[in-house]
């Protein structure tokens, strides 16, 4: 049995894309898997706060203090934590030779929109207040965390704050109107998500707010002035359209964007790097890309656009 087939079998036991799970169940499931993966050897971890926002700091042995990854976790804005993304962040940080920070932003339904974005903004401001150069910062996020990272980058641009070095988005959820074609076309291929589940998660997060608000759906925000963006997404997930749409709008706005669609891979596949060699390869490639883009800030170049479809 292939790695991805074995993972699909495991997921069948804990999630059904046809069934909306209670928030408490989703939280237990995500915490159980994420926290079962150990940190790589040589990584130190500690709890920190940025302007009151709790975060987890991961320090690999080979890291440069001038490089920082600020990660926002997945979970549909209602589950997930810094702890269940610590191992993935550590693996990425080692590859990028950077210090990693995972943000424990407030979750819905207890703290609905815009609490998550407010915490993202405060965590970023708190990080640069420590003396970290913004050009040495990579914003990273998977699924809802990917949408949050992009919304933060847009807010940074709107406020006229110094631009970060780059963004790495994994299966980003950027359109809470759920308008993409892949919500139907990839429905039977996706073992985790469906339009019904995402509609439920959006309602929990948004409450009475409009899903077209770019602070919640950054696909509808301004893509001008974005830093270089790398997007990884699986071919077998309903959020494929979101990733494609971000790449298109960034390119049209004149930004640098690189998109990789990984054949047979599922939603946030790098999070399953302990089981998937493709996940490990994705994190290694992303780490090298982050390192290159952060160093490139010292020597400005003309923006380029590259869209690559990755298959086997």
CA separation (Å) from 5 to 19, 30, 232? Answer: 21, 20, 20
Place of tokens 């997921």: 11
- Give me the mean pLDDT over the 218-238 stretch: 98
Contact 23, 56 (CB under 8 A): no
Burial class (CB in 10 A: 0-12, 13-18, 19+), 50: buried
Query: What's the rounded Cα separation, in Å, for the pair 287 and 164?
Result: 16
Q: Which of 72, 121, 130, 129 is nearest to 101 (CA)?
A: 72
Determine the CATH number of domain 3-310: 3.40.50.1820
Percent of the chain with pLDDT over 90: 93
Tens-place pLDDT, residues 182-217: 999 999 999 999 999 999 999 999 999 999 999 999
Place of tokens 């940190």: 39
Is 237 tagged catalytic? Answer: yes
Domain ranges of the chain: 3-310
Query: What's the rounded Cα separation, in Å, for the pair 136 and 139?
Result: 10
* Mean of the per-residue pLDDT values of the chain: 94
Tens-place pLDDT, residues 129-163: 999 999 999 999 999 999 999 999 999 999 999 99
Is 267 tagged catalytic? Answer: yes
Query: What's the rounded Cα separation, in Å, for the pair 148 and 129?
Result: 21
Tens-place pLDDT, residues 15-60: 999 999 999 999 999 999 999 999 999 999 999 999 999 999 999 9
Pick the catalytic residue from 73, 81, 123, 237: 237
Is 143 tagged catalytic? Answer: yes
Pick the catalytic residue from 74, 143, 171, 291: 143
Query: What's the rounded Cα separation, in Å, for the pair 121 and 41?
Result: 31
- Give me the mean pLDDT over the 225-241 stretch: 98
| Residue 105: pLDDT over 70 | yes
| Residue 308: pLDDT over 90 | no
Q: What is the pTM of this model?
A: 0.94
């Amino acid at each position: 049995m292939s790695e991805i087939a074995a993972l699909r079998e495991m997921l069948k036991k804990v999630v059904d894309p046809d069934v909306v799970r209670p928030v408490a169940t989703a939280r237990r499931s995500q915490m159980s898997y994420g926290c079962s993966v150990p940190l790589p050897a040589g990584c130190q971890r500690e709890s920190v706060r940025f302007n009151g926002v709790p975060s987890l700091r991961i320090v690999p042995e080979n890291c440069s203090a001038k490089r920082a990854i600020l990660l926002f976790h997945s979970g549909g804005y209602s589950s997930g934590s810094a702890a269940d993304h610590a191992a993935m962040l550590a693996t990425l940080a080692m590859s990028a030779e950077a210090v990693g920070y995972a943000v424990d932003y407030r979750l819905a339904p207890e703290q609905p929109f815009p609490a998550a974005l407010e915490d993202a903004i405060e965590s970023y401001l708190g990080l640069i207040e420590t003396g970290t150069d913004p050009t040495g910062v990579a914003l990273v996020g998977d699924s809802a965390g990917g949408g949050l990272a992009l919304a933060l980058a847009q807010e940074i641009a709107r406020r006229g704050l110094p631009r970060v070095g780059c963004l790495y988005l994994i299966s980003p959820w950027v359109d809470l109107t759920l308008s993409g074609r892949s919500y139907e076309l990839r429905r039977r291929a996706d073992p985790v998500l469906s339009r019904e589940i995402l509609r439920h998660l959006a309602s929990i997060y948004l409450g009475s707010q409009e899903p077209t608000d770019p602070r919640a759906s950054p696909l509808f925000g301004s893509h001008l002035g974005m830093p270089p963006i790398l997007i990884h997404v699986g071919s077998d997930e309903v959020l494929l359209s979101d990733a494609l749409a971000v790449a298109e709008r960034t390119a049209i706005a004149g930004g640098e964007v690189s998109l990789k669609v990984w054949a047979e891979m599922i939603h946030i596949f790098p999070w399953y790097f302990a089981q998937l060699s493709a996940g490990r390869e994705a994190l290694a490639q992303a780490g090298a890309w982050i390192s290159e883009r952060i160093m490139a800030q010292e020597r400005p170049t003309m923006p380029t656009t590259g869209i690559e479809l990755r298959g086997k």
